[in-house]
A and B are shown apart, each in its own frame.
Chain A
Amino acid sequence: MDKYAIEGTPKTPSISFDLNAGILEIKGRSIPENSIEFYKPLVDSLDKYSSAAKPATTVNVQLEYFNTSSSKCILDVFKKLESIHKGGSAVTINWHYEEDDEDMLEAGEDYQAIINVPFKMVMVAE
């Protein structure tokens, strides 16, 4: 098993997925024009991980901005995590939002309502 990691850019988040530790982190801005292309490698590594998932999987999402083009891709990532959760790895999604960012909190709650995985809403002080 290995690690999938990419650096952040002004339009795309940094992603770090340690398949051995079962820890996935997505941080920064996700506003690419073509988000499907951007998220495909992550979705592929989740597929790979699902066949040998760790007993627990921790997901930290800390986005400053994301566009609607990313929102469906993020849902796809969460759906993969949902099936990993069903497959026996205890998945937790920690959704971070800045103190005054109600829109980001609501966005997290939208996903929480759709995805059958424990979510934790984590407030970050600015």
Chain B
Amino acid sequence: MVDVFDIYDKMERNNILLSFKGEITSDLLTSILQIMENKMDNMQEEPKIKKKVYNVLVECLQNLYHHLDEMSEDELDRSKSAIFMIGKESGRYSIFTGNYILNENIIPLKARLDEVNSLNKEELKEYYKKVLNNGEMSLKGGGGLGMIDIARKTGEKIGYNFLEIDNKVSFFTLNIKITNN
């Protein structure tokens, strides 16, 4: 049997406000955003941090959404499922996401994350403008701006990990921190 208390206890200890596991749909995304907005209103969160959290949430969730879209042609059913969590501890928000990715996509993704993490505030601003204006448009429209935007808005390094599951896929996790600075 599933140890529900164990899951509850782990979430409680990590101060998780909201979590979801499953397929990320457009409607779900709308609901999660609305729930988090209400929660932050109820907690009387400062508008400044509320906006940052909201913005970063949108980028993280839409990453998951588009990514699942890309993976759907793959025969693996499990690849459609993702996990999302948001926690708050002593005024600091943490967003965690996890999803399967094809092993062949790890190297370019890791390179992009490392590049973003290596840049300071000014460099991120320049990099953002360069990518914004490079004329490239991915099908979803973002064209690689998401991570740069997250790094700019949070002013923190993006935490990530790739856990190899088998010779085909790995589980990719992101950890984004948002503080009021």
Contact = CB atoms under 8 A, between A and B. Distances in A.
A113 B129 CA distance: 9
A101 B48 contact: yes
Contacts of B54: 65
B129 A106 contact: no
Contacts of A101: 47-48, 51
Given A68-B146, A71-B145, A114 B52 contact: no
B21 interface: no
Contact of A106 (B58, B125, B139, B145): B125
Interface string B125-159: 10011001100010111110110110011000000
Contacts, number: 75
B19 to A, nearest CB: 21
A72 B140 CA distance: 10
Interface in B72-86: none
The number of chain A residues touching the other chain, given as a range, is 20 to 34
B141 A73 contact: yes
A44 B131 CA distance: 24
B51 A110 contact: no
Given A65-B51, A68-B149, A103-B51, A36 B129 contact: no
Contacts of A36: 137, 139, 141
B129 A67 contact: no
A86 interface: no
Contacts of A33: 26, 29, 62, 65-66, 140
B65 A110 contact: no
Interface of B: 26, 29-30, 33-34, 47-48, 51-52, 54-55, 58-59, 62, 65-66, 125, 128-129, 132-133, 137, 139-143, 145-146, 148-149, 152-153
24 contacts: A10-B30, A11-B30, A31-B33, A33-B26, A33-B29, A33-B65, A35-B141, A65-B55, A67-B59, A67-B142, A68-B59, A69-B62, A69-B142, A71-B149, A72-B141, A100-B47, A100-B48, A101-B47, A101-B48, A102-B48, A103-B52, A106-B125, A114-B129, A126-B47
Interface of A: 10-11, 31, 33-36, 65, 67-73, 75, 98, 100-103, 106, 110, 113-114, 126
Given A71-B145, A103-B153, 13 more contacts: A31-B33, A33-B29, A65-B58, A68-B141, A68-B145, A68-B146, A68-B149, A72-B142, A72-B145, A73-B141, A110-B125, A114-B132, A126-B47
